[in-house]
Amino acid sequence: MTNAVSIKNGRLFFDGVDMTELAAIYGTPLYVVSESIIRERIERIKIEFLNKYPGTIAAYASKAFQTLEMCRLVASEGLGFDVVSGGEIFATLKAGADPADLIFHGNAKTPDELRYAVQHGVGRIIVDNLNEIAQLERLGAVFGKKIPVLYRITPGVDSHTHRFISTGSLDSKFGIPLNQEVREMYMHAVLRSPHIDFRGFHFHVGSQLHDNFSHLAALDILLDLVRQVKAEFGFAAREINLGGGFGIQYLPTDPDPGLSYFIEPMMKKIEEGFSSAGIPQPTVIIEPGRWIIGEAGLTLYTIGAKKEIPGIRTYLGIDGGMTDNIRPALYEARYHALIANKAERTGDTLVTIAGKCCESGDILIRDIKLPDPQPGDILAVFSTGAYNHAMASNYNRIPRPAVVMVKNGSHHLSVRRETWEDLISREL
C-alpha cells in the first residue's frame, strides 16, 4: 500500500485524514482521492521521463478518472491529456486546459466529435481508420487547418493481462493492421493531403501490465515500420506514442516494477533505432492513466447485513457494489480491503463482500479475512482511483457516490453525491 496509508489509534488514515470520520461526514459509498499521491506520481514521471529525456511528452489518460478538479490538477503540473470522446474534450477544456495539449483517441469517433476537436484546435488526433482520414481532410478544408495526426498501429503482440483490457493483438477493434496494402493506402492518403500533418505512429498494447515484454515487442515492430516508410515513402517519423498500460498494485502481493522498468529499455531502443536509420530523434509520448490515479483512490462502504451459510460462505452486504465498481464483475479484478474503524486488528473471519445490486455477479471481493466484521463497520477498499468513478452507473436506480479530495490532513468535496431526483432529471 502507498505511504499515504497509516493507522492511528486503531483507525485508518489516508493522506492524513481519518477515514471513519470522513465516512460520518460525507456518507457512504464514498470515493476518496489523495492529491498528494497524484502529485507524487506526476513528479516521478518528470524525474524518470520528462526531465531525463529531452523532447518528451506525458499525457494523462483521463478516461481512468476525469473530473474538473482532476483536470485542473493535471494541467497545473504541466501534463497533457489523452481524451477519447467529445465529452472528455469538452470537460477538459471546461477545466481550462490548453486544447493544444490534448490527444484525441478512439476507434469510432463520430463526425460531430471530429468537427469539435478540429474546431477547438485539439493538439493531435490519433487516426484509427481510413474513414477518419477522409473526414479530417474535409474538416481541414472547411476550417483552413492542417491537422496533426498519428496512426494507431496494431502491432499484433500478446499482452499478459485480461483479454478485455488487451488492445495490441491482431484481432483488435483498435488500430491499423500492418499488411503492405493497408500501409501503402494510409501512407499515400496522408502524404498527399494538404490538410493532414502526419507526424508518426502510436501503439497501445493493453492495461495493467507488470512486465515490459509486449511494450518492447510492439516497439520493435514500430521501429521496423519507421525504417520501411522512410525507405518507401521518404517519410521520417517525427513523433512516436508508446501509450500506457503500466501496472499498479491492487493487492499487497502484486509486483510494483516502477515506471523506469518500462521507460528505460524503450528509450534505449528508440535512440538506437532512429540513430541506425539515420532519422533525427523523435518526440516520444507516453499516456499513463491508471498509473497516476489508481493507488491515489480508495472507496469507503458501510457494512450492512451479515449472512452466514454454515459450511459454505459468509456474505457481508455493503451499501455499494457494481454500480460504483464494475471491474470485479467485468473482468474479475481483485482488491485489498480492511475495516477502517478496526484497522490495526488482524483479520480472523473469512467473508465475501457482496454488493447491493440485483445481480449474482455483484461480488466486490471474494474470500477475504476481516476482523469480526459487524453491521455499521466502515469497509475501505484500496486502489480504486482508476475506472471506478469513471465507469459508475445508475443500475437499479442507485445514485453515484460523492468524490472527496484529501491532502495532508485536509479534505473537501470535489463531486457531490447524486440524489434520487438527479436520477430522473432528464426524463420527460
Nearest to 415 by CA among 157, 33, 135, 112: 33
Q: Is residue 26 part of a domain?
A: yes
Domain boundary pick from 291, 310, 340: 291
3-state secondary structure of 266: helix
Q: Do 144 and 169 belong to one domain?
A: yes
Cα dihedral across residues 165, 383, 211, 36: positive or negative = positive
For residue 289, which amino acid is it? G
**How many C-beta atoms lie closer than 10 Å to residue 94's C-beta?**
10
Q: Is residue 376 part of a domain?
A: yes
Task: For 253-296, list the strands marked E by DSSP.
Answer: 283-286
Report how far residue 159's alpha carbon sits from residue 239's, in angstroms, rounded to the nearest whole number: 24
Q: What is the span of the domain harbouring residue 246?
A: 35-291
Element (H, E) at 241: strand 239-241
Q: Do 114 and 28 belong to one domain?
A: no
Cell of 46: 518528470
Q: Which residue has the cell 490538410?
A: 195
Gyration radius of the chain's alpha carbons = 23
Q: Do 46 and 129 belong to one domain?
A: yes
Q: Is residue 255 part of a domain?
A: yes
Q: Do 149 and 194 belong to one domain?
A: yes
Per-residue pLDDT of the chain (428 residues; tens, 9 = 90+): 578 999 999 999 999 999 999 999 999 999 999 999 999 999 999 999 999 999 999 999 999 999 999 999 999 999 999 999 999 999 999 999 999 999 999 989 999 999 999 999 999 999 988 889 999 999 999 999 999 999 998 887 764 444 444 444 455 565 676 776 667 777 777 888 999 999 999 999 988 999 999 999 999 999 999 999 999 899 999 999 999 999 999 999 999 999 999 999 999 999 999 999 999 999 999 999 999 999 999 999 999 999 999 999 999 999 999 999 999 999 899 999 999 999 999 999 999 999 999 999 999 999 999 999 999 999 999 999 999 999 999 999 999 999 999 999 999 999 999 999 999 999 99
Cell of 184: 501503402
Q: Do 112 and 90 belong to one domain?
A: yes
**Structural domain total, the chain:** 2
Active site residue 71: no
Per-residue confidence (pLDDT) for residue 102, from 0 to 100: 98
Please name every residue paired with 148 in a beta bridge, in sequence order, or none if there are none: 197
Q: Do 201 and 343 belong to one domain?
A: no
Q: Do 316 and 405 belong to one domain?
A: yes
Report how far residue 406's alpha carbon sits from residue 388's, in angstroms, rounded to the nearest whole number: 17
User: Who's near 226: CB < 8 A, 6+ residues apart?
Assistant: 200, 201, 237, 240, 273, 274, 277, 279
Q: Do 94 and 29 belong to one domain?
A: no
Q: Is residue 150 part of a domain?
A: yes
Report how far residue 40's alpha carbon sits from residue 292's, in angstroms, rounded to the nearest whole number: 9
> Residues 334-365, buried b or exposed e (16+ Cβ, 10 A)?
ebbbbbbbbbeeebeeebebbbbbeeeebbbb
Q: Do 120 and 71 belong to one domain?
A: yes
3-state secondary structure of 377: coil
Nearest to 263 by CA among 9, 58, 4, 25: 58
Per-residue confidence (pLDDT) for residue 165, from 0 to 100: 40
Domain boundary pick from 258, 291, 324: 291
Q: Is residue 41 part of a domain?
A: yes
Q: Is residue 428 part of a domain?
A: no
Chain center to CA of 35: 16
Report how far residue 318's alpha carbon sits from residue 378's, in angstroms, rounded to the nearest whole number: 9
Report how far residue 84's alpha carbon sits from residue 66's, in angstroms, rounded to the nearest whole number: 11
Calculate ∠ Cα 78-83-87, nearest 5°: 120
Report how far residue 234's alpha carbon sits from residue 322's, in angstroms, rounded to the nearest whole number: 51
Element (H, E) at 412: strand 410-415
**How many C-beta atoms lie closer than 10 Å to residue 308's C-beta?**
11
End-to-end CA distance of the chain: 47
- Return phi, psi of residue 60, to 5°: -70, 125
Q: Which of 309, 312, 358, 428 is catalytic?
A: 358
Q: Is residue 326 part of a domain?
A: yes
| Helix axes of 213-233 and 259-276: crossing angle, nearest 10 degrees | 20
| Residue 186 C-beta-side C-alpha neighbours within 13 Å | 25
Report how far residue 305's alpha carbon sits from residue 303's, in angstroms, rounded to the nearest whole number: 7
Q: Is residue 81 part of a domain?
A: yes
The enclosing domain of 309 has a CATH number of 2.40.37.10
Per-residue confidence (pLDDT) for residue 49, from 0 to 100: 98
Q: Do 206 and 89 belong to one domain?
A: yes
Q: Do 163 and 124 belong to one domain?
A: yes
Q: Do 234 and 312 belong to one domain?
A: no
The enclosing domain of 244 has a CATH number of 3.20.20.10
Domain boundary pick from 266, 291, 316: 291
pTM: 0.94
